[in-house]
Amino acid sequence: MGSVAVRDLVERTDHEVAVGELRSAAADELATSLGIPVRAVDVEETTSLAAALADVDLVLNTTLMRLNPPVTRAAIQAGVHLVDLGAYWRETVAQLEMDEEARAAGCRIVPGCGVAPGLTNILVRHAADTLEAVESVRLLSYITHPMSTSPGIVYTRFDASVGTAMVLHDGQLEERPCFGGEETIAFPEPYGTQSVHLVPHPEPVTLPRYFDLRNVVFKVGYPPDETARIRALLELEFDSGEPFEHVGTWIVPRDLAAAYIGRAGLPSDLPTANLKRVEVEGRSGGRPVTLVFDLVVERVGEPSASAAITGTVAAVAANLVAESGPAGVLTPEAVFQPGPFLEALRGRGFEVSEATLAR
- The torsion angles phi and psi of 186, rounded to 5 degrees, stand at -90, 95
In CATH terms, the fold of domain 119-304+350-358 is Dihydrodipicolinate Reductase; domain 2 (3.30.360)
Dihedral angle computed from the Cα positions of residues 37, 43, 48 and 51, in that order, rounded to the nearest 10 degrees: 60
pLDDT in tens, 130-171: 999 999 999 999 999 999 999 999 999 999 999 999 999 999
Nearest to 118 by CA among 340, 335, 322: 335
* CB 330, CB 109: distance < 8 Å: yes
Strand pairing of 193-198 and 183-186? antiparallel
**Count of alpha carbons within 13 angstroms of residue 293, beta-carbon side:** 24
Give the pLDDT band (50/70/90) at residue 343.
very high
Q: In this model, does residue 46 exceed pLDDT 90?
A: no
State the pTM of this model: 0.95
H or E segment at 45?
A: none
Q: In this model, does residue 359 exceed pLDDT 80?
A: no
Residues counted in the chain: 359
Extents of the domains making up the chain:
2-113+311-335, 119-304+350-358
pLDDT in tens, 162-186: 999 999 999 999 999 999 999 999 9
Nearest to 309 by CA among 344, 337, 354: 344
Question: Which CATH number among 3.40.50.2300, 2.160.10.10, 3.40.50.300, 3.40.50.720 corresponds to the domain 2-113+311-335?
Answer: 3.40.50.720
Q: In this model, does residue 341 exceed pLDDT 90?
A: yes
Nearest to 274 by CA among 251, 290, 297: 297
3 state DSSP class of 287: strand
Q: ∠45-49-55 over CA atoms, to 5°? A: 160
